[in-house]
Amino acid sequence: MTTRPAYRVLPAVTAESAAFWTGGAEGELRIYRCHSCQHYFHPPVGVCFRCHSRDVAPEAVSGRATVATYTINVHPWFGDAFPTPYVIAIVELDEEPDTRLTTQLVDCPVEDVRIGMPVEVEFEHHDDVWIPVFRPVAGSVA
Amino acid sequence: MTFVDDKVVITGVGQSAVGRKLFRSGIDLAIDAALEAIAHAGLQVEDIDGVASYPGPVQAEGGFVGATTHEVRDALGMRTNWVLSGVETPGQLGTLMDGAAAIAGGRATHVLAFRSVCESSGQAAGRAAALTSVAERARGHAEFRMPFGAASPANWIGMYAMRYMHEFGLTREQLGQVALNARRNAARNPKAIYTAPMTLDDYLSARMISYPFSLYDCDIPCDGATAVILSRRGKAPSTGRTPIAIEAAGSALYERHTWDQRVDLTTMAAHDSAAHLWQQTSLTPADVDFATLYDGFSYLTTQWIEALGFCKHGEVGPFLDNTAYYAPDGELPINTHGGQLSGGRLHGYGFLHEACVQLWREAGERQIAKDVQVAAVGVGGGPEAGCLLLRRDS
């Protein structure tokens, strides 16, 4: 099984990213959405890159996503603090497949990860941030 | 219409010693490269009135910034009309393109452009120690990658490669041909770092870094500097060397500068850059005699092969199977110096250097036998990409 690291480099939270990194306190994955064209986007910033509306704000999404691609990382970049192997993935949100998150896949044997696999968010609480990692949707791994 | 209206030519190149743990400073290496390039162009230091480099004085670990533009111009006591460095530029050759534009626009006559690295000496202390001792939090694009353990371009680019393999059936055996081609060619480059013969079995049994990349899919940190002289056409002294024209320069990026939001994960900025390049010239991919294509990771070369039109999208696997096609005596030799995979990570400028010495027939033992007049140079990976089409004046 994918192991959880003892150590993560934590994000420097900005005005724009605060909702993303703290939504987990209420169990919510919060992604910026444009209220003009209705599309989601990531990373968060105060304008829609598609239609240039400033009427944008973070909004809770379902937390369900699909693995667009992944890699099994083997090299110990962080020494023993972040045990290997572990799976890094780019997941596409169910609400907006073009909106993707780079994340870690947890609670899944590395050899069972597949492109197209349905996953769902869970949060790891560290200090003042809630890190959104993803796990397989129950029953999606044989 | 050609890039900068054909007003600018490449007149000289230079390169320092290249190696592992040279324990010389980045500025010292850069001065070697600069002086060699200036002399190669038949110029004096006093003739240089513009200087450009990549990336400039950015915060980075481990010898990434070997020397800045100001450090080199100050060391050589230059009087300049124009200087630049930058990291928000289309790949490592981005500021060199701006140097050409500065000449065409009348801001300079002779521009020294360079890249210096001392990453081998700089990383001797070990990267894991550096990463876990970082008291600061992850900022910029790292904010959305480092918390998940996605610490390296091997992770970010490995994910693109995994998607391409999933879509188009590219195999590790095919990808490995990029590394094997580089190793074979490095044997004829006296400055290359790794020259011992490598087999497909060696490649496949190497330790994994981040799927699908093993050790031999990743380039080698090294110490070294490379310099290039750009001159206004007609202003360079006669050296007996035919100037090299910059027929076209691709600098486009049509999507956001990210590692995970590009709509088609089986393409990269290289595709935008190459499309931009071909818009500027009547030449076509069939006119290219050889290519030097970035290989910070093996997969990046496959992207440049596709992007520049040497094969169709999705068909780079079968292209790579035909190893004779891109060997030094083939139709389209690729990375005749061994690239960064075996030659060392000179970070982009090594590809331009190799293209120039081949066009000038100064490549020594590894000189391509056939007459070569047109070279494609593709540099960068992920959202970073810039490419040049070079033509030796006839």
- Strand order in B374-379's β-sheet? B82-85, B50-53, B110-118, B223-232, B8-15, B244-250, B386-392, B374-379, B290-293
Contact B137 A82 (CB under 8 A): no
- Over residues B117-127, the mean pLDDT reads 79
Mean pLDDT score of chain B: 96
pLDDT in tens, B238-267: 999 999 999 999 999 999 999 999 999 999
CA angle B326-B328-B330, nearest 5°?
A: 50
Residue B201 maps to a domain? no
pLDDT, position B219: 98
Contact B211 A71 (CB under 8 A): yes
Numbered residues of chain B with Cβ closer than 8 Å to any chain A Cβ: 127-129, 131-132, 134, 136-139, 142-152, 154-156, 158-160, 162-163, 166, 207-212, 256, 258-261, 263, 265
Contact A131 B147 (CB under 8 A): yes
Whether residue A83 has a cis bond before it, omega within 30° of 0:
no
Residue B88 maps to a domain? yes
The residues near B75 (Cβ < 8 Å, ≥ 6 apart) are: B27, B31
Residue B212 maps to a domain? no
Domain that residue B8 falls in: 3-123+221-232
- Over residues B30-47, the mean pLDDT reads 98
Supply B243's token pair: 């100037």
CA angle B202-B203-B204, nearest 5°?
A: 95
pLDDT in tens, A124-133: 999 999 999 9
Contact B147 A79 (CB under 8 A): no
Instruction: Name which of B155, B157, B260 to mutate to probe chain A: the one with the most chain A Cβ atoms within 10 A of its Cβ.
Output: B260
User: Which domains are delineated in chain A?
Assistant: 18-136 (2.40.50.840)
Domain of B22, CATH number, reads 3.40.47.10
Q: Is residue A60 a contact partner of residue A83, using CB atoms and an 8 Å limit?
A: no
CA angle A122-A40-B383, nearest 5°?
A: 90
Look at chain B and report how many structural domains it folds into: 1
Contact A12 B207 (CB under 8 A): no
Q: Is residue B351 a contact partner of residue B15, using CB atoms and an 8 Å limit?
A: no
Contact A10 B260 (CB under 8 A): no
- Over residues B121-136, the mean pLDDT reads 65
Got the DSSP string for B367-389? --SS---EEEEEE--TT--EEEE
Residue B99 maps to a domain? yes
Residue B64 maps to a domain? yes
Question: What is the β-pairing status of strands B8-15 and A118-126?
Answer: unpaired
**pLDDT exceeds cutoff 90 at B200:** yes
Residue B353 maps to a domain? no
Quick one: DSSP state of residue B238? P
What is the C-alpha separation between B88 and B384, in angstroms, rounded?
9
pLDDT, position A6: 84
User: From residue B229, how far is each of A140, B47, B267, B371 by CA, in Å?
Assistant: 58, 11, 32, 23
Cα of A95 to nearest chain B Cα, Å:
15
Residue from the list A11, A68, A90 with its beta carbon closest to the beta carbon of B147:
A11
pLDDT, position A142: 57
- Over residues A18-42, the mean pLDDT reads 98
Q: Is residue B124 a contact partner of residue B24, using CB atoms and an 8 Å limit?
A: no
- Over residues B187-198, the mean pLDDT reads 98
Query: A47 in contact with B at a CB cutoff of 8 Å?
Result: no
The proportion of chain B whose per-residue pLDDT surpasses 90, expressed as a percent, equals 91
Got the DSSP string for B143-163? GGTGGGT--SHHHHHHHHHHH
pLDDT, position A138: 85
| Nearest by Cα to B235 from B111, B114, B358 | B111
pLDDT, position B236: 87
Residue from the list A12, A74, A100 with its beta carbon closest to the beta carbon of B210:
A74
pLDDT, position B129: 57
Residue B145 maps to a domain? no
Residue B104 maps to a domain? yes
Contact A90 B152 (CB under 8 A): no
Ramachandran bin of B316, using left for φ above 0, alpha for ψ from -120 to 50, beta for the remaining angles:
alpha
Query: A6 in contact with B at a CB cutoff of 8 Å?
Result: no
pLDDT tier, A29 (very low <50, low <70, confident <90, very high otherwise):
very high
Residue B16 DSSP SS3: coil
**pLDDT exceeds cutoff 80 at A48:** yes
Cα of B20 to nearest chain A Cα, Å:
21
B352, B354, B356, B358: CA torsion to nearest 10:
-150
